Amino acid sequence: MAGIYVGSTSSYSGKNLFVLGLGLWFKSRGYSVGYMKPVGALPIEKNGRMGDEDAFFVQDVLGLSQDPAEVTPVLVTQDFKARAFAAPCEGLRELCVEAYEKLSEDKDVMLVGGSGSMYSGRYCDVDGVSLVKRLGIHAVIIDRFDKELNYDYLLVLGEALGDRLAGVIINDVPQGAMEEIEGMIAPLLERQGVKVLGILPRDPLLGAIKVADLAERMGGRIITAHHKADRVVEDFLIGTMQVENFLTHFRRRRNAAIIVGGDRSDVQLVALEGDAPCLILTGNLYPNDIILTRAEVLEIPMVVVREDTFSVAKKMEDILSRHKLRDKVKIQQGAQLVSSRLDLEQLRKTLGI
């Protein structure tokens, strides 16, 4: 039986995407796949049982129905943190080992999803590095491009994990950074003994969000074209500039939500006529009747929010960078990326299966 711990250098790097991609790839080749997420930071109740939200989701997609208490033996609730900070943690790592051994029975491949970064959970002895060593499994580490790469972190993990590091994945790379990563950073990592399993380009679809979900996350209210709330937003554009300048930027940004003051009817009309996926009107200001009517005719949702334009833009950036993988289309796209862009045959050889 082979075990793979999927970890990362930071939160929201794409761990669920790769766990699902790997799981579906191994299943398509006839392997029996098991799964656990030792540490869960998103506690929810489902069917009367407490577990981790991500873990429930991954199990559903992979067709697994395992005991939540075994899948996520360490559930980080407020009570758990209060106890962990008040006194030394004892026995949690062994609890994870016991759960792993039960879940891995009769399995060919065991996928272990990390939480946060590889050193998250160090305060209670269940960080990724410690668990990989204690479980005696291999690790795949994801580094998501966020203005730059954490290549120093990857080299440190290479030293910490040694032969247990099966390889690293560089994720969400914009086109402008691809040449440097392929020509300089990836070769550097390889020379230092860190295998690069793949470099994945940025895919707007994987970071997209539906208008209805966006309105909920923003604490806003949809006031037009409610039946089109399933339209997809991949980007955003702030409409505070003059109309002529706005038009120039607007034409270059497909599927971008327009963040604009509720009193800027000139920019609002341009965005509506240009078929923006939605308009986010700031300052709790409603548009005039002409704009409202035009939005309904063109079937474009408008969302009214209380906050100012700058605050909404910051929140929007955070939402698009951290929006979770949930839609069926995203899962299919992510699985296709994993199978086509990663050296999974090399990973299989490393695992010895």
Contacts of 229 (CB under 8 A, 6+ apart): 210, 211, 212, 215, 222, 301
Rg (CA), the chain: 23
CA distance 49 to 234: 35
Structure token pair of residue 181: 């990563």
CA distance 216 to 218: 5
- Residue 241 predicted with pLDDT over 90: no
Give per-residue pLDDT as tens, 76-135. Answer: 998 998 888 888 888 999 999 999 999 999 999 999 999 999 999 999 999 999 999 999
Give the pLDDT band of residue 339 (cuts 50, 70, 90). confident
Residues in the chain: 353
The answer to whether the beta carbons of residues 41 and 76 sit under 8 Å apart is yes
Please, what are the domains in the chain? 2-206+325-351 (3.40.50.300), 209-322 (3.40.1390.20)
- Residue 224 predicted with pLDDT over 60: yes
Spell out a b/e string for 232-245, using b for 16 or more CB atoms within 10 Å of the CB, else e. bbbebbbbbeeeee
Give per-residue pLDDT as tens, 263-292. Answer: 888 889 988 998 899 999 999 999 999 999
Look at residue 161 in the predicted model and tell me its pLDDT: 96
This prediction has a pTM of 0.78
The answer to whether the beta carbons of residues 262 and 271 sit under 8 Å apart is no
CA atoms within 13 A on the CB side of 207: 23
Question: Taken in order 2, 201, 41, 65, is the CA torsion positive or negative?
Answer: negative
Structure token pair of residue 172: 């969400």
- Residue 307 predicted with pLDDT over 80: yes
Q: Which residues pair with 293 in a beta bridge?
A: none
Contacts of 207 (CB under 8 A, 6+ apart): 172, 234, 320, 321, 323
